[in-house]
Structure 1
Amino acid sequence: MAFSLHKHTLSLLGALALVSGVPLLGHAASYGAGIENSQWYLAESIFECSLVHEVPGYGKAVFRHQAGESLSFFLESDHPMMRPGRGSLVVEAPAWRPGVVPRPLGSVNVSDGNRPVLLDTRQAMVLAQGLLEGMRPTVTRESWFDGSPVRVQVSNINFSGQFERYRACTANLLPVNYDQIRRSRIPFNSGSASLSGADRKLLDNIVTFVLADSTVERIFVDGHSDRLGSRIDNRALSEDRANVVAGYLKARGIPENLIIVRAHGDQFPVSRRPADNRRTTIRLQREGERPEFQQANGYGGESAG
């Protein structure tokens, strides 16, 4: 009777572990979707493409490509299951393909937080290739609870069709993302207010983004100069630098009412090097963001924009 009760208790605990996603002490835990519940979902826009896979009991596996950046892959879980440290990444065959030798891809860093595993572009591409070949990439690391192995498997079922859509999405991404251009800087030569080819390329990327993102409500354009020469001349030169940038943005289609132009002369140096202070800065502000006005103190700060 006691043996029967013990078996019943273990079965109940095992069922609870599967439901909760928490492994039993002393037992290896494997998480992965089967044929019946393996799905991939594509979230697509011109700002980001994400291919998301639900891993039952664990969380999510995500391929992500943000505008202006490279492909990445991460595992996401609301509950920490793996102990931080070095884990292993192996591409192995699913159970219905016996005899196929697993292919180790090296170690991965497992960190704290809700995204414990983050792979760079090279590893993410190798992982995607393994899925396209019908394999199951698997991350293994010791558990938080007792050091027993935790295995998270990424299923290849229903992957290939969605991956083709994902690749088509990435081909239409914007050249930059908001974080890359929300604060930008145009440098100038001494006494000059002329734009270079590199400056125009940066401004073209800003224009492309702003015209695509309707939530951008302000563009602050601030001209600056070094402290060589008179303050009156420096003020005029900083105004010319701000106006040449604002004029370029307007000529490329940015509405004039979005742009706020300011000239500061030599008031707000950011460095002791004169070349660093000959600049125009561009700062974007989205709806709901708190307006900023930061004044430089000595060499350590930057004026608004």
Structure 2
Amino acid sequence: MRQHYLALLSLIASLPAVAITFQTRLEKVEWKVEGDQFECRLSQSITDFGVGEFVRRAGEQATFRLQAREQWMGSGSATLLAAAVPWQPGRGDINLGVVSVGSGEVPLNSSQQQGARLLSGLLDGRSPLVRHRTLQGGEGLEVRLLPVKFNKAYSDYLACTAKLLPVNFDQIKQAQIGFPGGGSALDDASRAKLEIILQYLKADPSVNHIELDGHSDNGGSRLTNRDLSRRRALAVLDYFKANGVPEQQIVMRFHGERYPVAQNNNETNRARNRRVTVHLSREAAPADTPTPAAVAPNPAAAS
């Protein structure tokens, strides 16, 4: 009898701990799509936990993240799966690897690759599933989204992403306009890059300060190089002004050969040094200057 008892205890000890599962009831599952030119979000509320959502910023692919109303998750790492749903017996889960778990309102944020695979899994009827542990006591924890009603929401999400800007602020806030031919005239590639910057500036009027820094290689005298860097910066400034950017928002400097980004030891490196750096920023308006509501910063554009 004692042997049977010990064997039973051994069996119980070997069983996995029962996980705390957060999941919305099937009949209450809803997907929500929100967004603008800067960011699109596809989300599902999770009962008693918070929200699971896909977030795609302009210029990037979507990531998957969890928003938690309470601090359920302990710091460390969690496993992310495109899991088979309970009503599909015999179908295996797809392990998408680990993702870091931190503190705060958004404890988990996947990579773009993981986000794309989760979206693909949802289209295939799979569930985004996070396996981790609770902060209190370290019990197993699972957070699951269900693929119910997903296709219609995904169609609306795609319509949102089609209107995204080509870049986000982090990608555009410091750009280099090249002059590889050695002169001070803008070429097609430079104008194309400036057009992307202008498109962002028109969409986000909270970006109201531009700094232009002209540079050259060391191919001429210092005075010649300084003047060439000035004319390059002036070419970019004139392009911005011609396209409606107020001159008072622009600061122009020129440095000649003083600040190379590469050694001037071959033609490729010299071409890299012939450039204008464009730095964008948000400067607060003076306290006595009212900000029109029409140009108030969009929260989704904040970086």
- Classify the TM-score, shorter chain: 0.7 to 0.9
**Counterpart position of 1:180:** 171
* 2:95 aligned with 1:99: no
Contact 1:83 1:143 in 2 (8 A): no
Distance 1:172 1:80 in 2: 36
Structure 2 counterpart of 1:79, which letter?
Q
- Once the two structures are TM-superposed, the CA of residue 191 in structure 1 deviates from its matched residue by 4.4
Distance 2:18 2:93 in 1: 24
**Counterpart position of 1:127:** 118
2:234 to 240, 243, 255: 243
* 2:159 aligned with 1:168: yes
TM-score under structure 1 length normalisation: 0.75
2:61 to 70, 77, 80: 70
> RMSD across aligned C-alpha pairs, in angstroms?
2.8
Distance 1:281 1:127 in 2: 38
SS at match of 1:216: coil
**Counterpart position of 2:294:** none
Distance 2:115 2:80 in 1: 14
- Once the two structures are TM-superposed, the CA of residue 31 in structure 1 deviates from its matched residue by 0.5
Structure 2 unmatched ranges of 5 or more: 1-16, 265-269, 287-303
Structure 1 counterpart of 2:278, which letter?
I
SS at match of 2:208: strand
Distance 2:41 2:285 in 1: 25
TM-score under structure 2 length normalisation: 0.75
CA shift in 2, pair 1:61/1:289, >3 Å: farther
1:285 to 260, 263, 281: 281
**Structural mapping, 1:3-14, within 5 Å:** none
Contact 2:123 2:150 in 1 (8 A): yes
Contact 1:218 1:285 in 2 (8 A): yes
Contact 2:73 2:132 in 1 (8 A): no
SS at match of 1:194: coil
Count, aligned residues: 262
- Once the two structures are TM-superposed, the CA of residue 272 in structure 1 deviates from its matched residue by 6.2
Contact 2:59 2:168 in 1 (8 A): yes
- Once the two structures are TM-superposed, the CA of residue 255 in structure 1 deviates from its matched residue by 3.9
Structure 2 counterpart of 1:89, which letter?
L
Contact 2:177 2:276 in 1 (8 A): yes
**Structural mapping, 1:1-305, within 5 Å:** 28-77=19-68, 78-82=70-74, 84-94=76-86, 97=87, 99=89, 101-114=91-104, 115-189=106-180, 191-266=182-257, 268-271=258-261, 273-274=263-264, 275=270, 276-288=272-284
CA shift in 2, pair 1:248/1:113, >3 Å: same
Contact 1:70 1:121 in 2 (8 A): yes
**Counterpart position of 1:3:** none
1:20-56 C-alpha deviation (Å, 9 max, x unpaired): xxxxxx7521011113543322221011111122222
Distance 2:260 2:103 in 1: 36
SS at match of 2:157: helix
- Once the two structures are TM-superposed, the CA of residue 177 in structure 1 deviates from its matched residue by 0.9
More displaced, 169-178 or 103-112?
Answer: 103-112
CA shift in 2, pair 1:111/1:260, >3 Å: same
**Counterpart position of 2:292:** none
Structure 1 counterpart of 2:19, which letter?
A
CA shift in 2, pair 1:285/1:137, >3 Å: closer
Contact 2:74 2:103 in 1 (8 A): no
CA shift in 2, pair 1:35/1:256, >3 Å: same
